[in-house]
């Protein structure tokens, strides 16, 4: 790959540094800067546009265009080529600007004479403050070195603007202290509810001297800071809290590897060699990384770039001598609000955080894994939350619903205050019934299990009153590592998981990757529809060695203890038989090698694909157990992508069509003598759980926090009556059983 000659931007930056040393106001500095850039780049025009508010840009300085247009010519963000750059944060390089999509001619500037156009955003860490443009009469594309030089200068201009050395874009003006209440809807990623004060994750660090005076000195500073940062990360990974932890230690091990990424370090060195001070070089590479994030859809690559973003923040802190972030430095009631956050940074803040709100992220991201391990309520994908937040703003975070309230009105505060009081009362009630069975008034006992995916989830087994673990997601062990975990490593973790269950039944689900769950070390071809593609059992059976290794690890981890394993995303009974044969064959091999192996092995399936409900009678006789995978089953039953916020809430699991389908599965399993459970978020809502129980489901698995509310309702109802309510709704040709069930529960005073 060709790298631009660093001497070009270095010469220009040296000229800028000399100009900035002279006296003068912000406008005078801007006028000097555009002249220097035009001369250095042999451009006939150089112009600076700054954002005057979030929607408008103003021409603030120019060399070559009509000087009378300065501070009089403006355009909207998204309008014309300059507005396009401000919106996208990406350069535009054209040899014939007039014919570019979105071109807008501003007659007062006199720019019609210039065909060539190169514009780059003036931005800092993804926050676009303006646009820097050069133009020439002759039609030509500006080369890579020129684009690189202009981007570096634009970044320096952003630093100068923040340091108050130029006209300050209005985008940097302090936010009004009288901002109105606001709310953002996101996706619940870690259960819980919290009130507190906003702490913005990225308070601005002003880089006082963004231009290097001596390149070699800056390179030395950079390498010393990198060494110090790596030592800090080593200490974090080897700390007692992490050393004794479960799977989230793997997140930190992968994070440590990113700090040694040679390509990243080389990009930092190149930025310094171009003439930037070490801090500014890190910010330039960080901005480039964030721009790449916007273009990447692959979940693993996005996660890796977020980790590099975390490392860059840490490195800048070392370079500017900022105090390290610690739990002790947080204000009381701190709720962290961030664009995204890496695992190292989140562990720096520690469990003292009341809650965490992210504009990006996902339920399976590294930050989510750490947040759940630390029991921190988390909402992800709360778009726009940073723009409406300010440090110390009052905030309410509902990690159950995904709602975030900034500067909430009295009515909202009162409502959540009542909810907090109800939660405290409920918690006492749930503790009182924790060790009692979930038995209905007419004597039907419903087994309530919990779902888990981390070692940190297992303490909830006793706290919640769950009968066991109905689903242990083994893929998280694979997802948080940068390479395939060894068999012995897997076996040790599985053994510890079984130990933590204290003899209660625990069901391991074999590796369920694909769709939105990607392994960094496992190459895949892009798929048109990954949710329906090469994933879970399909992938495992095609990569038989990986499946055999996991089977061996599960068997060795269990030793002589009973082992329950279920296979995900099974579409046909033949897939189940093939997967079962792998597990049982490996069990015989383990015994033949003289190792302890379970005397009792249960082999089950997750019924997530509707077609499996119509398998043969033989299948329902031979499978040891069936677990309805509610999340995927609903997705395929209603043809509604559960990752798409516009459609995932559109359909109700209590529609009678879906309940009838559940009833058919109940009948098939009953006829075959096979135990059946329902696993998924739908069962975590008490009214839904009551309906499923009425349809004949005698076991359900859900998040730990839902077990208390579900058990309380189950113990307060008569299942025969609940079934009669559903039947009456059917006879009336109702679409859903929900209204009838909710009315009935209100009438009998049940705690729904």
Kindly state the tokens that stand for 15: 């000229």
Q: What is the CATH number of the domain that holds 185?
A: 3.50.30.10
Is residue 512's pLDDT more than 60?
yes
| 545 assigned to some structural domain | yes
Are residues 603 and 560 part of one domain?
yes
Q: How far apart are CA 27 and CA 70, in angstroms?
A: 11
| Of 115-124, 158-167, 241-250, 615-624, the least confident | 241-250
Is residue 175's pLDDT more than 60?
no
Percent over 70 (pLDDT), the chain: 86
Q: What is the mean pLDDT of the chain?
A: 85
User: What sign has the CA pseudo-torsion 372, 376, 379, 384?
Assistant: negative
User: What sign has the CA pseudo-torsion 617, 619, 621, 626?
Assistant: negative
pLDDT at 176: 42
Domain boundary among 321, 344, 371: 321
pLDDT at 205: 63
Q: What is the CATH number of the domain that holds 557?
A: 3.20.20.60
Residues whose CB falls within 8 Å of the CB of residue 355, separated by 6 or more in sequence, listed in order: 192, 194, 196, 335, 336, 376, 377, 378, 379, 395, 397, 399
Q: What is the CATH number of the domain that holds 22?
A: 3.30.450.40
Is residue 518's pLDDT more than 80?
no
| In 347-458, beta strands by DSSP E | 355-358, 378-380, 394-398, 403-406, 438-439, 445-452
Are residues 158 and 264 part of one domain?
no
Are residues 82 and 25 part of one domain?
yes
**pTM given for the model:** 0.65
DSSP-based three-state secondary structure for 651: coil
| 729 assigned to some structural domain | no
| 441 assigned to some structural domain | no
User: Which residues sit opposite 700 in a β-bridge?
Assistant: 448, 678
Are residues 241 and 197 part of one domain?
no
Contact 367, 393 (CB under 8 A): no
pLDDT at 495: 95
Task: Please spell the DSSP secondary structure of 383-412, one letter per residue.
Answer: TTTTTT--TT-EEEEETTTTEEEES--HHH
Q: How far apart are CA 494 and CA 520, in angstroms?
A: 22
Q: Identify the residue with better confidence: 209 or 690.
A: 690
- Phi, psi angles (nearest 5°) of residue 593: -85, 0
Are residues 250 and 112 part of one domain?
no
| 752 assigned to some structural domain | no
Q: How far apart are CA 45 and CA 42, in angstroms?
A: 9
Q: How far apart are CA 453 and CA 704, in angstroms?
A: 12
Task: Please spell the DSSP secondary structure of 522-550, one letter per residue.
Answer: S-----S-GGGSS-HHHHHHHSHHHHHHH
Q: Whole domain around residue 224: which residue ranges?
A: 206-321
Single out the residue of 295, 166, 272, 259 nearest to residue 213, CA to CA: 272
Residues whose CB falls within 8 Å of the CB of residue 375, separated by 6 or more in sequence, listed in order: 190, 192, 351
Q: How far apart are CA 396 and CA 523, in angstroms?
A: 41
Single out the residue of 47, 30, 50 nearest to residue 133, CA to CA: 47
Q: What is the CATH number of the domain that holds 254?
A: 1.10.274.10
Give the model confidence (pLDDT) of 247-259 as tens digits: 556 666 666 777 7
Percent over 90 (pLDDT), the chain: 46
Are residues 558 and 547 part of one domain?
yes
Domain boundary among 287, 321, 355: 321
| 736 assigned to some structural domain | no
Interhelix angle 26-40/144-162, rounded to 10 degrees, is: 170
pLDDT at 687: 97
| 726 assigned to some structural domain | no
Kindly state the tokens that stand for 302: 């996005």
463 by Cβ neighbours in 10 Å (0-12 / 13-18 / 19+) ranks as middle
Are residues 212 and 75 part of one domain?
no
Are residues 195 and 224 part of one domain?
no
309: alpha, beta or left, given left = phi > 0 and alpha = psi -120 to 50?
A: alpha
252 by Cβ neighbours in 10 Å (0-12 / 13-18 / 19+) ranks as buried
Are residues 291 and 219 part of one domain?
yes
Q: How far apart are CA 532 and CA 702, in angstroms?
A: 24
Q: How many domains, the chain?
A: 4
Instruction: Write the DSSP symbol of residue 293.
Output: H
| 258 assigned to some structural domain | yes
Are residues 83 and 162 part of one domain?
yes
Kindly state the tokens that stand for 346: 């989140």
Instruction: Write the DSSP symbol of residue 109.
Output: G
Q: How far apart are CA 241 and CA 400, in angstroms?
A: 27
Q: How far apart are CA 543 and CA 727, in angstroms?
A: 47
pLDDT at 633: 95
Give the model confidence (pLDDT) of 290-321 as tens digits: 766 666 665 555 556 666 777 787 888 888 88
Give the model confidence (pLDDT) of 626-682 as tens digits: 999 998 999 999 998 876 767 767 789 999 999 999 999 999 999 999 999 999 889
| Of 280-284, 325-329, 471-475, 513-517, the least confident | 325-329
* Distance from the first to the final alpha carbon of the chain: 63
Q: Which residue has the tokens 């109800």?
A: 422
Four-CA torsion 74, 79, 83, 86, nearest 10 degrees: 120
**Half-sphere exposure in the Cβ direction for 739 (13 Å, CA):** 8
Task: Please spell the DSSP secondary structure of 137-178, one letter per residue.
Answer: SS-----HHHHHHHHHHHHHHHHHHHTTSSPPPGGGSPPPTT
Element (H, E) at 679: strand 675-679
Single out the residue of 274, 261, 363 nearest to residue 310, CA to CA: 261
Kindly state the tokens that stand for 690: 């009551």
How many residues would you count in the chain?
752
pLDDT at 244: 53
> 174: pLDDT confidence band, cut at 50, 70 and 90?
very low
pLDDT at 415: 82
Contact 697, 682 (CB under 8 A): no
Are residues 624 and 565 part of one domain?
yes
Domain boundary among 433, 461, 484: 433
| 524 assigned to some structural domain | yes
Give the model confidence (pLDDT) of 339-358 as tens digits: 888 766 787 777 788 999 99
Give the model confidence (pLDDT) of 1-14 as tens digits: 344 444 556 777 87
Burial 422-456 (b: 16+ CB within 10 A, else e): eeeeeeeebeeeeeeebebeeebebbbbbbbbbbb
Single out the residue of 58, 18, 57, 16 nearest to residue 37, CA to CA: 16
Burial 10-19 (b: 16+ CB within 10 A, else e): bebbebbbee
Are residues 599 and 560 part of one domain?
yes
Kindly state the tokens that stand for 494: 């599985």
DSSP alpha helix (H) spans, 593-703:
617-622, 630-637, 645-648, 656-672, 686-694
């Amino acid at each position: 790959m060709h790298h631009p000659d660093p001497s070009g931007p270095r010469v220009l930056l040296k000229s800028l540094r000399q100009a900035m040393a002279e006296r003068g106001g912000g406008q005078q500095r801007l006028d000097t800067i555009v002249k220097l850039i035009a001369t250095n780049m042999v451009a006939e025009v150089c112009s600076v546009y700054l954002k005057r508010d979030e929607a408008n840009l103003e021409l603030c300085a120019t060399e070559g265009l009509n000087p009378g247009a300065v501070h009089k010519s403006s355009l909207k963000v998204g309008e014309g080529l300059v507005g396009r750059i401000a919106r996208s944060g990406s350069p535009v390089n054209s040899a014939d600007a007039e014919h570019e999509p979105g071109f807008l001619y501003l007659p007062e500037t006199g720019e019609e004479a210039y065909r060539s156009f190169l514009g780059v955003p003036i931005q800092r860490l993804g926050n676009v403050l303006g646009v820097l443009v050069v133009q020439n009469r002759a039609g030509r594309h500006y080369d890579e070195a020129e684009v690189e030089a202009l981007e570096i200068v634009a970044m320096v201009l952003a630093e100068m603007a923040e340091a108050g050395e130029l006209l300050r874009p209005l985008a940097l003006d302090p936010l009004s202290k009288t901002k109105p209440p606001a709310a953002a809807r996101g996706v619940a990623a870690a259960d819980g509810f919290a009130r507190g004060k906003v702490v913005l994750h990225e308070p601005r660090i002003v880089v006082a001297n963004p231009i290097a005076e001596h390149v070699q000195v800056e390179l030395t500073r950079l390498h010393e800071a990198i060494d110090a940062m790596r030592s800090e990360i080593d200490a974090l990974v080897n700390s007692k809290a992490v050393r004794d932890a479960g799977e989230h230690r793997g997140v930190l091990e992968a994070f440590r590897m990113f700090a040694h990424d040679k390509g990243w370090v080389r990009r930092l060195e190149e930025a310094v060699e171009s003439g930037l001070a070490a801090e500014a070089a890190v910010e330039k590479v960080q901005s480039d990384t964030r721009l790449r994030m916007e273009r990447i859809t692959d979940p693993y690559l996005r996660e890796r770039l977020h980790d590099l973003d975390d490392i860059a923040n840490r490195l800048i802190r070392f370079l500017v001598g900022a105090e390290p972030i610690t739990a002790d430095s947080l204000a009381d009631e701190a709720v962290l609000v961030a664009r995204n956050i890496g695992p190292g940074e989140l562990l720096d803040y520690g469990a003292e955080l009341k809650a965490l709100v992210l504009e990006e992220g996902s339920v399976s991201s590294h930050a989510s894994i750490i947040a759940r391990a630390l029991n921190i309520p988390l909402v992800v994908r709360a778009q726009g939350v940073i723009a409406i937040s300010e440090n110390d703003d009052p905030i309410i975070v509902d990690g159950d619903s995904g709602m975030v309230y900034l500067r909430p009105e009295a009515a909202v505060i009162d409502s959540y205050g009542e909810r907090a009081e109800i939660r405290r009362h409920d918690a006492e009630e749930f503790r009182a019934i924790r060790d009692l069975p979930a038995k209905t008034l007419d004597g039907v006992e419903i087994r309530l299990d919990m779902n888990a995916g981390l070692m940190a989830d297992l303490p909830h087994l006793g706290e919640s009153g769950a009968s066991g673990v109905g689903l242990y997601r083994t893929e998280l062990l694979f997802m948080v590592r940068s390479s395939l975990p060894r068999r012995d490593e897997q076996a040790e973790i599985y053994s510890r998981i079984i130990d933590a269950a204290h003899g209660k039944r625990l069901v391991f689900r074999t590796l369920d990757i694909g769709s939105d769950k990607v392994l960094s070390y496992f190459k895949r071809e892009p798929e048109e529809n990954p949710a329906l593609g090469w994933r879970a059992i399909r992938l495992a059976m095609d990569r038989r060695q990986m499946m055999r290794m996991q089977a061996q690890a599960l068997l060795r981890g269990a030793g002589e203890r009973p082992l329950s394993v279920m296979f995900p995303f099974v579409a046909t009974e033949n897939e189940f038989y093939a997967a079962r044969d792998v597990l049982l064959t490996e069990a015989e091999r383990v015994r033949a090698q003289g190792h302890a192996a379970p005397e009792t092995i249960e082999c089950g399936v997750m019924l997530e694909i509707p077609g499996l409900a119509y398998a043969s009678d033989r299948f329902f006789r031979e499978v040891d157990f069936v677990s309805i995978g509610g999340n995927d089953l609903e997705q395929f039953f209603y043809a509604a992508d559960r990752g798409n916020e516009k459609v995932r809430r559109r359909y109700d699991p209590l529609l009678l069509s879906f309940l009838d389908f559940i009833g058919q599965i109940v009948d098939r399993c009953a006829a075959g003598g096979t135990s059946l459970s329902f696993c998924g978020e739908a069962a975590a809502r008490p009214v839904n759980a009551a309906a499923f129980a009425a349809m004949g489901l005698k076991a359900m698995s859900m998040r730990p926090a839902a077990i208390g509310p579900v058990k309380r309702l189950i113990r307060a109802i008569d299942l025969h009556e609940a079934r009669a309510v559903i039947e009456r709704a059917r006879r009336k040709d109702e679409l859903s059983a929900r209204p009838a069930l909710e009315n009935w529960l209100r009438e009998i005073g049940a705690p729904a």
